[in-house]
Each structure stands twice: as C-alpha cells, then as structure tokens.
Chains A and B, each alone.
Chain A
Amino acid sequence: MDEARRVVLRSAGATGVLAAALAAGLLKPERALAASWNKAAFDSKSAVDALKNIGAANPQETGEIVIEAPQIAENGAVVPIEVTSKLPGTTSLAVLIEKNPFPLASQFRFMDGALPFVKVNVKMGESSIVRVVAEAGGKYYTATKEVKVTIGGCGG
C-alpha cells in the first residue's frame, strides 16, 4: 500500500516538472512528438526570405525538376502540384507559392529509397509563380511554373 502511494507521488512529481517546462516554453510539444517545424521559413512573407530560411538563398536554375500544375486553376482553394526531381541524390523538395501571404507551402525530406516525388494540393490566393527548390548533393536547385488563378483560395 505504502509502495503504491510512493509510485503515485513520484509520477505526480514528474508530471509537474514536465508541465512547468511546457509552461516555460522550454519543451515545445511538437518537438517532443515529431520532427521540428521550420517556423522562420513558414512565417516568411516573401519567397526570398523563405528561401534564406530553408538555407537555399541562391538556388541554381535547372531543367531537372519537373513541375506538373494546371496553367489555369479555376479554384485557388485546391491546386494540385506534382513535383519530380531528376537530379541524382535529391534529398528534399520545397514548394513555394511566391505570391501567397506566406510563400512556403511545404517541404519534404526523402530517405532510404523514397523517390524525390510528391503530389500535394495547395491554396493559392492569386495567380503566382510556383517555385520548387530541390536539395541534391548539398546544393540547391530550383525550377518554376506559373499558375493563373481565377478564384483565390486564401481568404473567406
């Protein structure tokens, strides 16, 4: 009985410490559960800043990144973007919608056999350049495609 009480006390104490750490912002819950989230890059309001914040300030133009997206998107709320990198050793792909309020839409890292390919639906506030940045062999490469939007998908 006494032993059980001690166990309860111990775990209560540990929970208290964790709660205090969370309250102090020392431990972000998302970090405890999964990979980090690049807040600086996702909060960037220009494509130039977003590129800097993902470490790809001056990516090299390439024809080895294929972007499949509609030329004209009737509904900006759902614009399918399909990206394939033919660059050998591609480890990550980032999708930026240059004219969105926060241009960086998503970034993916590929490991252990995953092919550098992704298809994702994004929102576009207005017609914009869609920019893809690939990381291959420690260098950054980029390609773009323009998508015209007839009804924006960011506001209400």
Chain B
Amino acid sequence: MAGPMKARARMQGNYADVRVLMSHPMETGQRKGRDGKPIPKHFIQNLAVKLNGKTVIEGECSQAVSRNPVFSFRIGGAKPGDKIEISWLDNKGETNKTETAVA
C-alpha cells in the first residue's frame, strides 16, 4: 500500500531546503464509496525528519492533509552531503521512509 516516496534537499544559504512527496490516499472517512458505505479513515498520523540520524522535526497530521502529501522543511546547520531521512506512520500502522543527501 505504501507507494513511492521522493525527497530532495538543497542548500539555500545557511539552511537545507527539504522537500518530500509521499504517496498516500489520506482518506478523511467522510467520503462514500460506490456501495454507499463510508470509506474508512486512512491517513498519515506521524512523520519524522532526521539529519544524520538525529530527529530534527516531528510532525503529527490529521486527515485534513491533502492526498499524496507534499511537505517542505528547512534545516539549519546542514552541510552538503549530510544524510536526511524522512519517515511516516499512518493510522493503520503502515509505514514508509526515504533517504536523500543534501546537495
């Protein structure tokens, strides 16, 4: 279920501009399927951004985040070549992560 994830990190002056794209349906629980029954909630609840293995950003989300979420973050003190890891966990316990290096 966990689709592909893409991340990119580039130095912008003194911080790394991190962009991440996650593939996720982000179902709100308010939509109805063809059978007229509500489609159950299915959304990313937690995400974490690590710089060289150390957590620098923790996020909590609701179903109000758009489908296939896109986030941007800024990490100060990063250098080219530093490792950025981004992971998420949804309300069904599914999880995914991706890694990139600061360019």
Interface residue ranges, A against B (CB under 8 Å)? 29-30, 33-35, 37-38, 42, 77-79, 82, 97, 100-102, 104-115, 117-124, 153-156
Contacts and interface: CB of A to CB of B under 8 A. Distances in A.
Interface string B48-69: 1101001111111111111101
A77 B28 CA distance: 11
B45 interface: yes
B72 to A, nearest CB: 4
B36 to A, nearest CB: 11
Contacts of A29: 93
Contacts of B28: 123, 154
A122 B45 contact: no
B31 interface: yes
A100 B78 CA distance: 36
Contacts of B87: 34
Interface of B: 15, 28, 30-32, 39, 45-46, 48-49, 51, 54-67, 69-78, 87, 89, 91, 93, 95
Contacts of B66: 77-79, 121-123, 153
A120 B74 contact: no
Nearest 9 pairs between A and B by C-beta? A156-B31, A119-B72, A113-B77, A121-B66, A115-B74, A105-B64, A114-B56, A113-B76, A34-B46
Given A33-B95, A112-B56, A122-B66, A106 B61 contact: yes
A111 B56 contact: yes
A107 B30 contact: no
A102 B59 CA distance: 17
A120 B30 contact: no
Contacts of A118: 59, 71-73
Contacts of B72: 82, 117-119
A112 B54 CA distance: 9
A121 B70 contact: yes
Most A CB contacts (10 A, CB to CB) among B58, B64, B72, B91 go to B64
A42 B75 CA distance: 26
A110 B57 contact: yes
A130 to B, nearest CB: 11
Nearest to B77: A113
Contact of B56 (A100, A113, A156): A113
